[in-house]
Amino acid sequence: MKSAKAKVLKTRRAPRIETELTVPGDKSISHRAVILSAISNGTCTITNFLEGEDCRSTARALRQLGVAIETPKPGTVVVEGNHGIFCAPGGDIDCGNSGTTMRLMAGLLAPQKFACRMTGDPSLSKRPMRRVIEPLQEMGARVWAEGANECPPLCVEGHPLNGVTYRLPVASAQVKSAILLAGLFAGGGTTVIESARSRDHTERMLAYYLVRLRHEEIWEGHSLGARRLKEVRISLAGGQIPESRDFHVPGDISSAAFWLVAAAAQPGSRLLVKNVGLNPTRTGIIDVLVRMGARVREIVENSDHGEPSGTIDIKGGHLHATEVRGAEIPNVIDEIPVIAVAAALAEGTTVIRDAKELRVKETDRIAAVAANLRAMGVGVEEFSDGMAITGGSPLKGARLPSFGDHRIAMAFAVAGLFASGETVIEDIACIATSYPTFFDTLKKIQKGTGIGRYTPVFSSLLSKSRTSKSP
């Protein structure tokens, strides 16, 4: 085991997991907490803010735009809201590896009174920006990309905006959020329509910061029979300033997912993850693991700040294959690399489809997962929008690239816990993007020492046991 500064990470077969743990603050929520605080009408204190590189990029960008942000102690951030009026940045804004920073900031910068340019690292410089350019241009924004195929750098020349009604062509919370943030400063109303539900943190948090917005669900089918969500419409009126409020960030279920899979795939394991976000637009990983044979209780303990959080209590089992596709994909989009590892450990062939978006994440995650699983001896068929993984044979330890992608690095560190011999993950600095303390938890899991002792979790009215069901 090496520290975050080391270039490689080594893992070996781990003992049964029987412990409880917490994970750092949610990445998506931390970005939004600092952004909404920055445009609020006063001082906001954010606790359990994720001090990962991506959220630091957002905080750094906001500071560059004149927002006063203090960090009195680790994980606590105090932000002086500016009512949405920023200062010219005096140079390019470096968004690092963070697509969320660049896309959400595009929405905030479009209605300002100055021009600026956002850049990114080599991975972000290959990510598509057409998806935010198009709706913002429809609102009257002057925004364009300088890179080939409308990739970064992204340039924004501030201009007054009008509200828009925009149907998202791809389920993307980043694009939805960019439009809603721009809509706050636009003349008239803005409506975003999505036909697959993406994570709804922006909507929940806007409501928590006392912005009035309307959420409408349109369902298809007979009220007594099977009903299918046709679309979600989120509308807000321009000219609202978020009310300054303190905010506590729950733990990141996408970080918990690595340990949930590690526990799920080992019969006899039991893991409690505490103080973790349980927003239903993010808990698809639990549904998938339950379908594969894990036993899970989800206990919502708190919703004070509009984001449900609590404990996940998971017991491992002999996993079997499942299908992950359709409307479930946006809910598990960041967990697919580690779901693929669970599939490799499960009996049968797991099929993942409708996940073309994985091709344009921090790396092409379909190609990266397929290459690394094959190197460990797993049969993988690759599709343009997913893969079929035939699991159940022993995994072989291997030397694997991270492709500079934090979730690939961590997913394959988990695979190494089930493999014969040693697994070496190269180029692991990227893990700091979302989970800077991953190494400490991995070390404890590998040693089998436990992170704390069990505290009994009693059934409560809020406890929801998941049982096997189709997606």
Q: Terminus-to-terminus CA distance in the chain, angstroms?
A: 37
Write the single-letter amino acid at 374: R
> CA–CA separation, 196 vs 178, rounded Å?
17
Among 186, 168, 201, which Cα is nearest to 334's?
Answer: 201
Look at the block and give the residue holding tokens 């057409």.
130
> CA–CA separation, 262 vs 269, rounded Å?
9
CA dihedral 124, 139, 34, 279 (to 10 degrees): -90
Measured in whole angstroms, the distance separating CA 238 from the mean position of its chain's CA atoms is: 27
Q: Residues in the site for ligand S3P, rule: CB under 6 A?
A: 28, 31, 100, 172-174, 177, 199, 333-334, 357
CB of 273 to ligand S3P, least distance (A): 19
> CA–CA separation, 425 vs 412, rounded Å?
7
The pair phi, psi for residue 213, each rounded to 5°, is -140, 160
3 state DSSP class of 213: strand
CB of 315 to ligand S3P, least distance (A): 28
Q: Which is nearer to ligand S3P, 112 or 172 (CB)?
A: 172
Q: Which is nearer to ligand S3P, 138 or 357 (CB)?
A: 357
CB of 100 to ligand S3P, least distance (A): 4
CB of 39 to ligand S3P, least distance (A): 17
CB of 45 to ligand S3P, least distance (A): 21
CB of 420 to ligand S3P, least distance (A): 32
Q: Active site residue: 252, 287, 334, 405, which one?
A: 334
> CA–CA separation, 415 vs 40, rounded Å?
43
Q: Which residue has the CB atom at the shortest distance from ligand S3P?
A: 28
* Strand stretches in 199-339, DSSP E: 213-220, 228-237, 247-248, 270-277, 295-302, 309-315, 323-324
* Strand stretches in 305-438, DSSP E: 309-315, 323-324, 348-352, 379-383, 386-391, 395-396, 399-400, 419-420, 423-426
Tell me how far CA of residue 39 lies from CA of 175, 185, 276, 433, in angstroms: 19, 10, 26, 24
CB of 31 to ligand S3P, least distance (A): 6
Question: Is 12:447 a contact under the CB 8 Å cutoff?
Answer: no
3 state DSSP class of 187: strand
Helix (H) or strand (E) holding 271: strand 270-277
3 state DSSP class of 284: helix
3 state DSSP class of 395: strand
Reply yes or no on whether 364 is catalytic: no
> CA–CA separation, 144 vs 36, rounded Å?
24
CB of 1 to ligand S3P, least distance (A): 26
3 state DSSP class of 56: helix
Q: Which residues are catalytic?
A: 334
